[in-house]
């Protein structure tokens, strides 16, 4: 009664209660801000958002897009000091989204997207437990929004991305899916992503460019359809000159799909100015791309990355590549310097970082001849790599691991140049010799054989090869290879 009386008194004294409902208005200024942010022109985007807040204080969209502004630098740069300053914004923005109407599809969607972005950030700062629950919260929020607003297409984009990835979690990370209680599927997930991309709904058009980012990574790394990925990129004609995020994406996809020349061209041709965010990840990708071409300035970018990057992801791998650069240059002192740094710098969250640490702890240097072949082959410079490789035979290498690598590298080059029968022969030799060894060559050969037989529509042989890859234990890159093999099994079985 006292509370009611106080309210009556306040009203009687002329005070008014603000009953205005906050809105989610993606007006033209917010669209321009979103576009600038997605190009990594973050300051331009922030300026537009601040103008919108002043002119339309009841519009919640600027506060939602503020999260994108924070997300990209935190995700790419991994600066602990910046994270400490910004982490409290998560709850502030979620509370802000609650000021809107629950009858809007953006009410739950904006909350889910914020949770999903902070989950990705927390993974980078090794907060796995919090990240796990954050992903679960995002997923459950999206499922509820999908139930309430089945025609709201942005639901399907984020749900589809999560379903696709969670359908291929390798054994080493099974605890995640057990906790989440979530079983995804490649087909279900990609159906949702494709439905979003093909939709003409206004909300789908709004987030279209963001969807291309999800689609390309899922198609290349999970669905394993590189030809379709590059055909999609060619069809969409993404603006990699003015969109820094797209340039980084295409360069990274090129790095991971033996197209280094394309990745180098994209990064060299992009519009570089102070209006774009400073992303340390750029130097990592550019340095690795140039190293595969054996460029004599590759070390410049790799050194810039390890000197400026404040995070833990990719550091050991980058230091390993720097040690290789100087090793091939004949500068053993510098090679040793960077190898020793691997022992104390960076983390071991990625398989590449784990392998770099293992090599550094082992103390053995790779065969320089095979290392050059590997780098050129990884970059897609197959004719150069094959020409070099065929100047020797397996018998020319005394060590068993070098003989094994010779067979594997030859198989990969034949595979990538469409000489499948020759590739099969070399892969089978690699598996026979290396199935019980710690190197990853036999497991990767099994995976590649699975791809070949899947392409030939030989379901039984494809499944056999993928299972063989999964059954191999204790080798380098175990988690990432298992994820790809599991994805292959799902594709072949049509699940």
Which pLDDT tens digit goes with each residue over 409-459? 999 999 999 999 999 999 999 999 999 999 999 999 999 999 999 999 999
Handedness of CA 417, 423, 424, 430 (dihedral sign): negative
pLDDT value of residue 16? 36
> Going by CATH, does the domain composed of 28-223 fall within 1.25.40?
yes
pLDDT value of residue 21? 79
Residues linked to residue 26 through DSSP beta bridges, in sequence order: none
DSSP 242: T
For the chain, residues classed under CATH 1.25.40.10 are 367-494
Size (the chain), residues: 495
Residue 207 phi/psi, 5-degree rounding, is -100, 20
DSSP 287: H
Q: What angle do CA 45, 51, 52 make, to 5 degrees?
A: 90
216-237 burial, b at 16+ Cβ within 10 Å, e below that, comes to: bbbbbbbbbebeebbebbeeee
| Pairwise CA distance, residues 386 & 373, whole Å | 8
178 Cβ partners below 8 Å, 6+ apart? Answer: none
Token output for 20: 């205005």
Token output for 18: 């603000």
Q: What angle do CA 272, 277, 283 make, to 5 degrees?
A: 70
102-124 burial, b at 16+ Cβ within 10 Å, e below that, comes to: eebbbbbbbbbbbbbbbbebbbb
| Pairwise CA distance, residues 361 & 358, whole Å | 5
> Which alpha helices (DSSP H) does 218-314 contain, by range?
226-236, 244-255, 260-269, 281-292, 298-308
Helix (H) or strand (E) holding 53: helix 42-55
Place of tokens 């550091």: 315
Contact between residue 149 and residue 104 where contact means Cβ atoms under 8 Å apart: no
Grouping H, G, I as helix, E, B as strand and the rest as coil, residue 207 is coil
Contact between residue 231 and residue 266 where contact means Cβ atoms under 8 Å apart: no
DSSP 22: B
Residues linked to residue 100 through DSSP beta bridges, in sequence order: 22
DSSP 23: B
Token output for 48: 């537009």
The per-residue DSSP string of 134-197 comes to: HHHHHHHHHHHHHHH-TT-THHHHHHHHHHHHHTT--GGGHHHHHHHT----HHHHHHHHHHHH
| Pairwise CA distance, residues 424 & 436, whole Å | 19
pTM above 0.75, yes or no: yes
pLDDT value of residue 170? 55
Contact between residue 161 and residue 462 where contact means Cβ atoms under 8 Å apart: no
Token output for 451: 């791809």
Contact between residue 408 and residue 426 where contact means Cβ atoms under 8 Å apart: yes
User: Each residue of 238-257: pLDDT tens digit?
Assistant: 999 999 999 999 999 999 99
Q: How many helices (H) and strands (E) does the chain have?
A: 28, 0
CATH class of this structure's domain 367-494: mainly alpha
Those residues of the chain that have pLDDT short of 70 are 1-20, 168-183, 495
| Pairwise CA distance, residues 451 & 448, whole Å | 5
pLDDT value of residue 2? 37
- Residue-averaged pLDDT of the chain: 91
Token output for 255: 């790095």
201 Cβ partners below 8 Å, 6+ apart? Answer: 151, 153
């Amino acid at each position: 009664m006292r509370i009611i009386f106080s309210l009556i008194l306040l009203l009687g004294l002329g005070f008014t209660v603000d009953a205005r409902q906050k809105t989610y208005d993606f007006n033209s200024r917010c669209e321009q801000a979103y576009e600038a942010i997605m190009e990594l022109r973050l300051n331009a985007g922030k300026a537009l958002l601040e103008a919108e807040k002043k002119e339309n204080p009841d519009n919640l969209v600027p506060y939602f897009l503020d999260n994108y502004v924070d997300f990209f630098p935190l995700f790419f740069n991994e600066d602990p000091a910046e994270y400490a300053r910004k982490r409290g914004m998560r709850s502030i923005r979620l509370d802000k989204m609650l000021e809107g109407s629950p009858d809007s599809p953006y009410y739950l969607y904006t909350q889910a997207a914020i949770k999903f972005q902070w989950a990705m950030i927390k993974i980078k700062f090794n907060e796995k437990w919090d990240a796990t629950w954050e992903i679960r919260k995002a997923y459950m929020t999206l499922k509820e929004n999908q139930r309430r607003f089945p025609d709201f297409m942005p639901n399907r984009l984020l749900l589809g991305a999560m379903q696709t990835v969670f359908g291929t979690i390798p054994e080493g990370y099974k605890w995640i899916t057990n906790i989440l209680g979530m079983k995804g599927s490649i087909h279900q997930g990609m159906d949702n992503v494709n439905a979003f991309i093909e939709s003409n709904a206004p909300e789908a058009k709004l987030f279209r460019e963001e969807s291309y980012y999800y689609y390309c990574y899922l198609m290349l790394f999970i669905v394993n359809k590189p030809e379709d990925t590059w055909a999609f990129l060619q069809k969409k004609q993404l603006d990699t000159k003015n969109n820094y995020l797209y340039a980084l994406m295409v360069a990274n996809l090129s790095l991971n799909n033996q197209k280094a020349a394309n990745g180098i061209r994209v990064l060299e041709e992009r519009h570089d100015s102070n209006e774009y965010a400073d992303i340390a990840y750029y130097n990592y990708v550019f340095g690795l791309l140039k190293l595969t071409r054996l460029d004599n300035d590759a070390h410049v970018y790799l050194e810039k990355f390890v000197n400026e990057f404040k995070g833990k992801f990719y550091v050991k791998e980058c230091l390993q590549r720097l040690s290789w650069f100087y090793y091939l240059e004949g500068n053993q002192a510098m090679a040793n310097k960077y190898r020793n740094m691997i022992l104390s710098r960076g983390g071991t969250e990625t398989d590449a970082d784990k392998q770099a640490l293992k090599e550094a702890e082992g103390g053995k240097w790779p065969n320089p001849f095979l290392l050059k072949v590997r780098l050129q082959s990884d970059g897609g410079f197959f004719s150069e790599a094959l020409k070099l490789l065929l100047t020797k035979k397996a018998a020319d290498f005394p060590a068993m691991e070098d003989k094994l690598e010779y067979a594997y590298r030859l198989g990969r080059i034949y595979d990538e140049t469409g000489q499948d029968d020759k590739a099969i022969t070399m892969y089978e030799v690699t598996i026979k010799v290396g199935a019980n060894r710690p190197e990853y060559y036999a497991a990767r050969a099994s995976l590649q054989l699975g791809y070949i037989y899947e392409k030939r529509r030989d379901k039984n042989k494809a499944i056999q090869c993928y299972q063989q890859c999964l059954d191999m234990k204790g080798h380098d890159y175990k988690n990432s290879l298992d994820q790809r093999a599991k994805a292959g099994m799902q594709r072949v079985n049509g699940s």
